Amino acid sequence: MIQVDLITGFLGAGKTTFLLRYARYLMNRGLKIGILVYDHGAVNVDLPLLNELRGENCELEMLAGGCDPDCHKRRFRTKLIAMGMSGYDRVIIEPSGVFDMDEFFDTLNEAPLDRWYEAGSVIAVVDAQLDEQTSEEEDFFLASQAADAGCVLISKAQLATKEQIQSTLRHLNRAAEQINGPAIPENRILCKPWDELTGEDFDRLTHCGYRMSEYVKTVAGRLSEFQSLSYLDLPLTEDELREKIETLFREKRFGRILRVKGFFRENGAWYQINATAKELHVAEVPENRAVITVIGANLQEEAICILLTGKAPQLHLL
């Protein structure tokens, strides 16, 4: 049977960055892998970042977001059926940061998928500098993803102090208590700078398995408050984007902004921009499509649209 790994984690935790490393490790072992990526919204920004992996031993697939939960589940199932005929040794799924863990296990247990696939490793990526000011909704996704993970992988450990990492782990267990879930034992946590991950570490991750934990699915978990808005072909320079993104995070009139990411073009070159309230990164990338996606809670669509485009929204946004 084909093993299916799930790399999950809340918005901005670093799932795609880890996926690049994890996929290279598997391919270096001679495995043929398929990667399925989907985002919270109609435009997928993360998939182009993985294009360097494409080749004889790696194929990339995208699942479009921006639809209702039932439609999304049907698309997820259909995509896995198609991928099951491609001869992969392993399939890796990177879902949205606001992912319902039940969807993963329920889908793999449906016919005919239950004859082709089995759950492999579930890896939950958690930011070492986790924000203390998180909502009940955010804590639900954080705790439920960690509860079912065979390994909780701490990201950006090189940027955090020991006190910040301990605060993050305490936060994680407080979130687990809120949904009557299990505490995360130390032996399920891997915390070190990712540049220092060894072959032994990756072998541990490929064999870490998963946990079928019991927890209360709170109202926050059932009725997601998260939204995303995407804007194509904004004629903005890097400096203009930086200024507007900083404004989005600073001013509460836009809603609770959790992440801004996308691509832009300047002076004939293409760049990726990726921002949270704590950090903003820009890096040159191969040719892409100019798009900026704003993810958050209680987003004020009109105010955001006016800030980014200079005019009020039309009939609909992507």
**Which of 10-14, 51-55, 296-300, 303-307 ranks highest by mean pLDDT?**
303-307
Answer yes or no: do 181 and 207 share one domain: yes
User: How many domains are there within the chain?
Assistant: 2
The CATH number that applies at residue 284 is 3.30.1220.10
Answer yes or no: do 121 and 163 share one domain: yes
201 — pLDDT class (breaks 50, 70, 90): very high
pLDDT tens column, 140-155: 999 999 999 999 999 9
Both structure tokens of 109:
């247990």
First to last CA, the chain: 38
Cα separation, 205 vs 21, in Å, equals 12
The whole-number pLDDT of residue 8 equals 94
The CATH number that applies at residue 36 is 3.40.50.300
Answer yes or no: do 136 and 247 share one domain: no
Cα separation, 117 vs 84, in Å, equals 8
pLDDT tens column, 210-255: 998 888 887 554 546 678 888 999 999 999 999 999 999 999 999 9
pLDDT tens column, 155-182: 999 999 999 999 999 999 999 999 998 8
Cα separation, 283 vs 275, in Å, equals 12
Residue 24 belongs to some domain of the structure:
yes
Looking at 204, 222, 240, the residue that finishes a domain is 222
Answer yes or no: do 126 and 271 share one domain: no
Answer yes or no: do 218 and 294 share one domain: no
Tell me the chain's radius of gyration from C-alpha atoms.
Answer: 19
Sequence-distant (6+) residues with CB within 8 A of 55 are 27
277 — pLDDT class (breaks 50, 70, 90): confident
DSSP letters, 216-272, are ---HHHHS--EEEEEEE-----HHHHHHHHHHHHH-GGG-EEEEEEEEEEETTEEEE
- Residue 156 structural domain: 2-222
Answer yes or no: do 72 and 215 share one domain: yes
Mean confidence (pLDDT) of the chain: 88
**Over pLDDT 90: what percentage of the chain?**
54
Which has the closest alpha carbon to 210: 131, 93, 129? Answer: 93
Both structure tokens of 76:
């997820």
Answer yes or no: do 161 and 287 share one domain: no
